[in-house]
């Protein structure tokens, strides 16, 4: 009896710490970061990093001394990256990752997941405004500005499939989309979701919050060692979770592990292609882009869905 409880505990611990959560998720994040960099290099006619480069970067950063700047709330400075990573890892509990069913599921977990994923931007913004560094401050302002601009369209774009499936539970939506490619019926929503993910991860052309030629590293300027490593890991986690969500909702389900990797990597290729093709937008331009076009596109999508629904019934 007691041994059964211990066994159960060990299994769930292993699930959280190693597979499919925790360590495996982090390593997958690093793998996707490498694929991202390698593909971008290929598109730019370069060689790109070797496969272990993201891992080596993280190990190096973990080994480095973490400099806590003066006149900074040290607890916040050290705590924020951990909160960001924890948010990403918690979100992973509700997402059908690597072909497995999510370990937890309840009605409305889609909203919880989206907000847990936003925790990264929020922590970045707070980390930037926590320091006195001017680049960090400008970067934090831009991060938060961008958060308020992409979040609404991104949320609406992910609610499209939820509306189609008639459920706000990721597991149910994923089951619903297993046989349907919503990309075909909701192309605008898909587009907004992909670009929204790029905005969330501050990828070019929406990388104004960390534009290195203007504000060095944006909100992360003052981070050097462990904190930077953890922020990078949580970016990797957010990347892979975002890809999973979009692939599950729009690309015909991810219940098969092979399809999961195929579809998420195909999605990554689209993102890398967009990264390579466009010049960086200024922060006012990207806010304009989101409110002028992004939101409008999603609303058109929703209008279409309502009308279609009306016609069908």
Partner 1 sequence: MEKVQTSRSFTVPIGPQHPALKEPEHFLITVDGEIVTKAVVRLGYAHRGVEKATESRNWVQNIYILERICGICSHIHATAYCLGVEKLAGVEVPPRAQAIRVLVAEMERIHSHLLWLGVAAHEAGFDTLFMYSWRDRETIMDLLESLSGNRVNYSVNLLGGVKFDVDDELARLIYDGIDFLEKRTQHYLDVVTSDAMFLQRTRGIGTMTRSQADVLGTVGPTARASNVYRDIRVEAPYGAYGDFPVKIVLDERGDLEARFVVRIKELFESYRVIREILDNLPAGELSTRMPRRIQEGETVSRVEAPRGELFYFIKSNGTDTPERIKVRTPTICNMMSVVKLAVGHQLADVPMIVVGIDPCFSCNDRMTVVDRGQGQRQGWTWEALRRYGIRHYQRLAR
Partner 2 sequence: MKLGTMFQDVSSSFLRKPVTEKYPFERRTPPTRLRGTLVWDAETCVGCGLCATDCPANALEVFVLDRKEKRFALSYHPDRCTFCAQCVSSCRHGSLAMSNEVWELAALDRTSFTIHFGDETDVELALAGKTASNAEASSE
Should residue 41 be labelled a site residue for partner 2 when binding is judged by CB under 8 A?
yes
Q: Which is nearer to partner 1, 43 or 296 (CB)?
A: 43
Instruction: Please choose which of partner 2, partner 1, none residue 204 contacts, taking the beta carbon within 5 to 8 angstroms, the exact cut-off set by kind.
Output: partner 1
Should residue 137 be labelled a site residue for partner 1 when binding is judged by CB under 8 A?
yes
SS (H, E, C) 82-93: HHHHHHHHHHHH
Report 57-76 residues binding partner 2 (CB under 8 A). Answer: none
Distance CA(67)–CA(13), nearest Å, equals 33
Should residue 46 be labelled a site residue for partner 2 when binding is judged by CB under 8 A?
yes
Q: Which of 14, 284, 303, 306 binds partner 1 (CB under 8 A)?
A: 284
Report 59-98 residues binding partner 1 (CB under 8 A). Answer: none
Q: Which residues of 270-283 are buried (b: 16+ CB within 10 A; e: fewer)?
A: ebbebbeeeebbeb
Which range binds partner 2 by CB under 8 A, 76-84, 214-222, 228-236, 273-281? Answer: 273-281
Instruction: Please choose which of partner 1, partner 2, none residue 214 contacts, taking the beta carbon within 5 to 8 angstroms, the exact cut-off set by kind.
Output: partner 1
> Shortest CA distance to 228 belongs to which of 89, 117, 144, 127?
127
Which range binds partner 2 by CB under 8 A, 12-20, 233-241, 243-251, 271-279? Answer: 271-279
Q: Which helix (H) or strand (E) holds 32?
A: helix 22-43
Q: Name the region of 279 (left: φ>0; alpha: ψ -120 to 50; beta: rest).
A: beta
Distance CA(83)–CA(81), nearest Å, equals 5
Map residue 299 onto helix, strand or coil: helix
Which range binds partner 2 by CB under 8 A, 43-51, 80-88, 150-158, 237-245? Answer: 43-51
Q: Are 223 and 130 contacting, i.e. CB atoms less than 8 angstroms apart?
A: no
Report 187-216 residues binding partner 1 (CB under 8 A). Answer: 204-205, 207-208, 211-216
Should residue 285 be labelled a site residue for partner 1 when binding is judged by CB under 8 A?
yes
Which range binds partner 1 by CB under 8 A, 54-62, 84-92, 135-143, 249-257? Answer: 135-143
Should residue 112 be labelled a site residue for partner 2 when binding is judged by CB under 8 A?
no
Q: DSSP string covering 202-268, please?
A: T-TTS-GGG-HHHHTTGGGTT--SHHHHHHHHHHHHHHHHHHHHHHHHHTT---SHHHHHHHHHHHH
- Binding region for partner 2 (CB under 8 A): 41-48, 273, 276-278
Task: List residues near partner 1 by CB under 8 A.
Answer: 43-46, 132-135, 137-138, 204-205, 207-208, 211-216, 276-285
């Amino acid at each position: 009896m007691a041994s059964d409880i211990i066994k159960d505990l060990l299994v769930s611990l292993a699930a959280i710490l190693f597979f499919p959560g925790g360590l495996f998720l982090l390593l997958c994040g690093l793998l996707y970061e490498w694929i991202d960099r390698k593909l971008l290099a290929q598109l730019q006619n370069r060689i790109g990093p070797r496969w272990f480069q993201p891992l080596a970067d993280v190990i190096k950063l973990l080994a480095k001394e973490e400099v806590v700047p003066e006149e900074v709330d040290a607890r916040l400075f050290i705590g924020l990256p951990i909160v960001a990573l924890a948010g990403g890892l918690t979100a992973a509990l509700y997402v059908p990752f690597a072909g497995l069913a999510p370990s937890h599921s309840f009605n409305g977990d889609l909203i919880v997941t989206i907000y847990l994923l936003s925790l990264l931007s929020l922590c970045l913004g707070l980390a930037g405004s926590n320091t006195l560094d001017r680049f960090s401050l400008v970067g934090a302002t831009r991060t938060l500005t961008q958060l308020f601009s992409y979040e609404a369209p991104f949320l609406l774009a992910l609610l499209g499939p939820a509306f189609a499936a008639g459920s706000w539970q990721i597991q149910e939506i994923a089951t619903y989309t297993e046989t349907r490619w919503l990309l075909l019926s909701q192309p605008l929503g898909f587009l907004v979701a992909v670009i929204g993910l790029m905005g969330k991860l501050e990828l070019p052309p929406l990388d104004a919050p960390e534009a290195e030629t203007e504000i060095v590293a944006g909100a992360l300027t003052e981070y050097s060692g462990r904190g930077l490593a953890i922020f990078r890991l949580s970016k990797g986690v957010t990347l892979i979770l975002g890809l999973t969500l979009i692939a599950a909702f729009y690309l015909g389900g991810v219940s098969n592990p092979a399809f999961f990797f195929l579809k998420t990597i195909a999605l990554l290729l689209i993102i890398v292609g967009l990264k390579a093709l466009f010049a960086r937008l200024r922060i006012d331009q990207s806010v304009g882009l989101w409110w002028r076009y992004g939101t409008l596109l999603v609303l058109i999508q929703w209008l279409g869905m309502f009308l279609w629904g009306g016609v069908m019934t």
